[in-house]
Amino acid sequence: MSITPNLNTDLQSWKTGLRNFNEIKITRGTSVYQHWKVCGGADASYFDGFFGGNVGGSITFDSDVWADNQMELTIDLQDVKLYTLDRADWWIGGMLSEYKNGPFYDSRFTPATFFGEDGTLKLIPSAVLVGFRPKCELTISDFVYSRHSTDWEGHAGIRIGPFQISSKTHKVTVIENSEKHTKTITFAPTDDRPLIIGVLSDLNLA
């Protein structure tokens, strides 16, 4: 499998300063559905699934962060680009349509096992969205910060929308604004590794 265009070539260009800066700003009045439709699960609201801590594979949702009237989130990407996945010669997409009703030698497996809304082959990755040096700044009230500072500091990372930010790749600093009674938490990248921030998939309902 390969990706196009060439990520290594783009990475060298990014490192030399050839970049297209992107910024996303979200406040309490921003529609999560419009900007982060992919972050809500079937059994969770978009609000509850927006912020969370991550440790040991488990995620804790912090819905009161989104409900905070002082909340403001800025995500800066020094560049972002979509790369197409090439499945190479081993991939024969027509076989999925030709054999959608079999052969299934084991009676435990049916077409629904692989296709349809719950099938294992329902989504086939076709492209990845790669961001260069993503930086996040989250401003929240002192009250909300005090409720979660210990919890988040004890986690191996934090999730904001589709972004998973690890303490291994980002430096975390906290700035206090005494006049507004807020805290601004900055997650700054510590190296030049590009990060996958999204995956596009083809929907296969053959």
* 110 within a domain of the structure (yes/no): no
Q: What integer pLDDT is reported at residue 1 of this predicted model?
A: 66
* 104 within a domain of the structure (yes/no): no
Residue 181 has pLDDT above 90, yes or no: yes
Residue 110 binned pLDDT confidence (cut-offs 50, 70, 90): low
| Mean pLDDT value across residues 3-26 | 87
* 75 within a domain of the structure (yes/no): yes
| Mean pLDDT value across residues 123-129 | 83
Lowest mean pLDDT among 40-49, 84-93, 126-135: 40-49
* 81 within a domain of the structure (yes/no): yes
Contacts of 141 (CB under 8 A, 6+ apart): 68, 69, 70, 71, 181, 182, 183
Q: What is the extent of the structural domain holding 86? A: 2-90+122-203
* 105 within a domain of the structure (yes/no): no
Task: List Cα–Cα distances, 173 to 32, 48, 77, 168, in angstroms.
Answer: 26, 25, 18, 14
* 140 within a domain of the structure (yes/no): yes
Q: What integer pLDDT is reported at residue 166 of this predicted model?
A: 67
How many domains does one find in the chain? Answer: 1
The phi and psi torsions of 62 (rounded to 5 degrees) equal -120, 80
* 100 within a domain of the structure (yes/no): no
Predicted TM-score (pTM) of this structure: 0.63
pLDDT in tens, 46-75: 334 556 555 444 445 567 777 888 988 888
* 142 within a domain of the structure (yes/no): yes
